[in-house]
Amino acid sequence: MNRREYLGALGGGVAALTAGCSADESDTYLDEPDLRAEPSQLPYPVYGQSLPDVTLSDPIADEEITVGNDDRDTLLTFFYSHCQSVCPRLVSALRNVQANAIEDGLIDTTAFQAVTFDPERDDGDRLRGYADRMNVSLSDNWRFLRPESPEHAQEVVTDEFGVRFERTHPEEMDMYMFSHRALILLVNADGYVERSYPNSTPSWQTIDDDLRTLNDREH
């Protein structure tokens, strides 16, 4: 059963259980946001939910990494490096937050993870070059994560995290693209979602403000 089916099966029971928790029992630090719909109706992780237990490869560092399990606040997004529209905006938003965290001395408590759903083309060399083009600092808690195959990408990115993607122009093997959902997640150091940003033009200032508030309340 994938995440979407699981949440649908839980339905109102989850909402009732959440409503019964006191503030002291909460796994989150930020105030509850206004969601677009009931949590069980949204395909991606939302406020108060724990991240799926998923381990992926960091092809640059040649390590296996559990997504969001960094003992630090984590900003997580999903992308592919040949994207020319939404993905650069998602990665740029996180890059700007990373730059601010470095400048203000918050980088030791913050991790950045970007999961590709194009493992056929996004190998270590490609992602290293992409980091250079996007001006992200790989030495400052930034990781590109990669499923082992297109099938694994579907299982992880869509089934576990609710980020739909579909390959287009399959006849052009080198130039194919994807249509896909845009999503950034802010996850606290305990692995619980504080904010979901399902926007194709995310405000990095809003994300930065939320991260700083989270950091202040945790410490």
For residues 94, 176, 159, 146, the Cα torsion angle rounded to the nearest 10 degrees is: -50
Per-residue pLDDT tens listing for the chain (219 residues): 455 454 444 444 444 334 334 334 689 999 999 987 898 899 999 999 999 999 999 999 999 999 998 889 999 999 999 999 999 999 999 999 999 999 999 999 999 999 999 999 999 999 999 999 999 999 999 999 999 999 999 999 999 999 999 998 766 667 899 999 999 999 999 999 999 999 999 999 999 999 999 999 998
Return d(Cα 22, Cα 175) in angstroms, integer.
52
Between helix 12-19 and helix 3-10 the angle, nearest 10°, is 70
Phi, psi of 218, deg, nearest 5: -75, -30
**Rg (the chain; Cα; Å):** 17
| 169 assigned to a ligand binding site | no
How far apart, in Å, are the Cα atoms of 21 and each of 2, 15, 17, 97, 176? 26, 10, 7, 32, 47
pLDDT at 21: 41
The total number of structural domains that make up the chain: 1
Return d(Cα 183, Cα 133) in angstroms, integer.
21
Return d(Cα 101, Cα 113) in angstroms, integer.
15
Query: What CATH code is carried by the domain that includes residue 114?
Result: 3.40.30.10
Return d(Cα 192, Cα 187) in angstroms, integer.
5
Backbone torsion region of residue 199, taken as left when φ is above 0, otherwise alpha when ψ lies between -120 and 50, otherwise beta: beta
pLDDT at 36: 78
pTM score: 0.88
| 21 assigned to a ligand binding site | no
CA proximity to 49, closest of 186, 164, 194, 155: 194
Are 65 and 56 contacting, i.e. CB atoms less than 8 angstroms apart?
yes
How far apart, in Å, are the Cα atoms of 36 and each of 18, 41, 163? 17, 9, 16
Return d(Cα 35, Cα 215) in angstroms, integer.
22
Task: Please calculate the CA angle 24-29-32 and round it to the nearest 5 degrees.
Answer: 95
Could you tell me the residue range of the domain that residue 184 belongs to?
3-218
